[in-house]
Amino acid sequence: MRRTAAKLADGREIIYFDDTPDAPPRTAVDTRDLPESQPHSEVRRDPLTGEWVAMAAHRQTRTYKPPADLCPLCPTSPGKPTEIPESSYDVAVFENRFPSFAEDVPDVQSTVDGMSMVHRAAGRGRCEVVCFTSDHNTSFGELTPHRVRTVVDVWADRTEAFAEIPGVAQVFPFENRGEEIGVTLHHPHGQIYGYPFVTPKTERMLSVAGEYFAEHGTHVMGDVLAAERAAGTRIVAEGEHWTAFVPAAARWPVEVHVVPHRQVPDLPALTDAERDDFAHLYLRVLHLMDALYDRPLPYIAAWHQAPVRTGRDLSWLHLEVFSVLRTKDKLKYLAGSESGMGVWINDVTPEQIAERLRGSSA
């Protein structure tokens, strides 16, 4: 894989990752007249829950559902400059023009005016867009295993780079697919967030893992994986190094966890064999999900990695893929219990979800 870094017109970084042997050199120049990017992100700590909330008002003007011929993630064509100056690409990564977090945001006062208990800080971090292919009319599930392997290597590369940024506490690669999820750009792409704090979900998972280890002397994810593989009831697909299963306490109407058989903290720690096996298994999972309702399934794919500087011995890398679609044409809305109290109510059992997914390949 060839890696080429360059700059966009407003100074943001763009990196090309080419897996095609005869890919041309990446020398195109961004000719757009763009104002310098000036994000003003900040974070505030909720005094009632202890959780950090990001404020990024500059994102209100971000691109929203452009027509396909004006997609900013497609390659640049004559008269139609985009975020990617080249006329073609394999995988391209660039700094988000409307980031939730950024490295050069201005300082803010330490507390909110009149609220000394509400701590406040600059939203320092990094946000990048990962374009999986230059083909606008495809999806991650239609990529080749070779391209998926490239994307895994890109995720690992960027995870290592983000970890070197001062103040980044956690690196989160993810993909949103489908308007039902809230996607506003249909080109196949994902994002990577470098948070200036450890996220609430990760903090909770590390706490539970620590308590479990203190009591049992083993990792909770390792024991869950062993039990799921022994039972087989909720298994969706298996590979040499990974297993995909519906968790026994699934929250979403469609939910699959893709877990490596070996405890590793993050994507950079995966071996070549593990990365290859993931590429094949994950494509299998996505094909089953799309076949479930015989339509492209809207989903969120979220990587759970260890924080940069803490809890790495308690972390077990895994991918969580879930959908809000509970039938072919009905959405699972987060209503009073879920949104108000954080208590999930699922309309289908995990065993039923797994059986339907396995059967969708018929």
**Element containing residue 245 per DSSP (H, E):** strand 242-245
Of 132, 111, 219, residue with least CA distance to 175: 132
Is the pLDDT at 301 greater than 90? The verdict is yes
Give yes or no on whether 2-197 and 201-359 have one common fold. Answer: yes
Residue 158 DSSP SS3: helix
Quote the CA–CA distance of 137 and 133 in Å, as a whole number: 10
Q: What is the pLDDT of residue 13?
A: 97
Residues 6+ apart with CB under 8 A from 116: none
* Ordered DSSP codes for 115-135: EEEEEEEE-B-EEEEEE--S-
Q: Which residue shows structure tokens 């890919």?
A: 23
**Element containing residue 43 per DSSP (H, E):** strand 42-45
Beta-carbon neighbour count of residue 114 at 10 Å? 6
Range 252-263 average pLDDT: 97
Share of the chain above pLDDT 90, in %: 86
Architecture label for domain 2-197: 2-Layer Sandwich (3.30)
Strand segments, DSSP code E, in 178-219 are: 189-195
DSSP state of 39: -
Q: Is 337 in contact with 347 (CB distance < 8 Å)?
A: no
Of 260, 257, 255, 288, residue with least CA distance to 276: 260
**Element containing residue 170 per DSSP (H, E):** strand 170-177
Quote the CA–CA distance of 81 and 101 in Å, as a whole number: 25
Q: What is the pLDDT of residue 314?
A: 98
Is the pLDDT at 106 greater than 60? The verdict is yes
Of 121, 161, 154, residue with least CA distance to 140: 154
Quote the CA–CA distance of 172 and 183 in Å, as a whole number: 18
DSSP state of 24: P
> Is 318 a known active-site residue?
no
Is the pLDDT at 177 greater than 60? The verdict is yes
pLDDT tens-digit profile of 291-300?
999 999 999 9
Range 269-296 average pLDDT: 97
Quote the CA–CA distance of 328 and 304 in Å, as a whole number: 28
Quote the CA–CA distance of 110 and 133 in Å, as a whole number: 42
Range 198-214 average pLDDT: 98
Cα torsion angle, 129, 130, 136, 140, sign: negative
pLDDT band for position 58 (cuts 50, 70, 90): low
Quote the CA–CA distance of 299 and 177 in Å, as a whole number: 5
What residues form the annotated binding site for Zn(2+)?
71, 74, 136, 187
Is the pLDDT at 39 greater than 90? The verdict is no
Quote the CA–CA distance of 23 and 31 in Å, as a whole number: 22
Q: Tell me which of 189, 241, 257, 318 is the catalytic residue.
A: 189
What residues form the annotated binding site?
71, 74, 136, 187
Of 34, 176, 164, 7, residue with least CA distance to 94: 7
Q: What is the pLDDT of residue 70?
A: 85
Quote the CA–CA distance of 111 and 121 in Å, as a whole number: 8
The CATH topology of domain 201-359 is: HIT family, subunit A (3.30.428)
pLDDT tens-digit profile of 112-168?
999 999 999 999 999 999 999 999 999 999 999 999 999 999 999 999 999 999 999
Question: Rounded to two decimals, what is the model's pTM?
Answer: 0.95
Provide the phi-psi class of 50: left if phi over 0, else alpha when psi is between -120 and 50, else beta: left
Domain boundary assignment for the chain: 2-197, 201-359
pLDDT band for position 196 (cuts 50, 70, 90): very high
